[in-house]
Chains A and B, each alone.
Chain A
Amino acid sequence: MEFPFDNNIPIYIQLLEYMKIYLISGVFKSGEKLPSVREFSNTFKVNPNTMQKALAELESMNLIYTERTNGKYVTKDEKLIEKLKDEYAITLAKSYFQGMKRIGLGKADSIKYLERIDE
Chain B
Amino acid sequence: MKLLEIKSLNKSFNTKEILKDVNLSISSGKIVGLLGKNGAGKTTLIKLINDLLTPTSGEIIIKGNKVGVETKKVVSYLPERTYLNKQMKVSEVIEYFKDFYKDFDDEKAKKLLEDLDLDIEEHLTKMSKGMQEKVQLVLVMSRKADLYILDEPLGGVDPATRDYILDTILSNFNENASVIISTHLISDIERILDEVIFIDKGKIILQSDADKLRNKEKSSIDEIFRRMFKC
Name A's B-contacting residues (CB within 8 A): 5, 7-13, 41-42, 45-50, 53
Chain B, 164-180, contact with A by CB distance < 8 Å: what is the 0/1 string? 00110011000100000
List 27 A-B residue pairs with CB atoms under 8 Å apart, sorted by A's residue number.
A5-B191, A7-B190, A7-B191, A7-B214, A7-B220, A7-B223, A8-B214, A8-B220, A8-B223, A10-B211, A10-B214, A11-B211, A12-B211, A41-B170, A42-B170, A45-B166, A45-B167, A45-B170, A45-B191, A46-B191, A47-B31, A47-B192, A48-B170, A49-B29, A49-B194, A50-B194, A53-B211
Nearest chain B CB to A35's CB is how many angstroms away? Answer: 14
Q: Which residue of B lies closest to A7 (CB)?
A: B220
Cα separation A5 to B211 with both chains bound (whole Å): 13
B30 at the interface (CB under 8 A from A): yes
Q: How far is the CA of A115 from the CA of B219 in the complex (A)?
A: 38
Top 9 A-B pairs, shortest CB-CB distance:
A7-B220, A10-B211, A8-B220, A10-B214, A47-B192, A10-B215, A8-B219, A49-B194, A5-B191
Name the residue on B nearest A53 (C-beta).
B211
CA distance A94 to B211 in the complex (A): 28
A-B CB contacts (within 8 Å), total count: 51
> Which B151-195 residues have a C-beta within 8 angstroms of A?
166-167, 170-171, 175, 187, 190-194
Known: A45-B166, A49-B29. A7 touches B187 (CB 8 A): yes
- What residues on A are CB-neighbors of B221 within 8 Å? 7
CA distance A12 to B166 in the complex (A): 18
Question: Would you call B218 an interface residue if the criterion is a C-beta within 8 Å of the partner chain's C-beta atoms?
Answer: yes
A47 vs B170: C-alpha distance when bound (angstroms): 7
| CB proximity of B167 to chain A, nearest CB, Å | 6
Q: B194 contacts which chain A residues (CB < 8 A)?
A: 47, 49-50
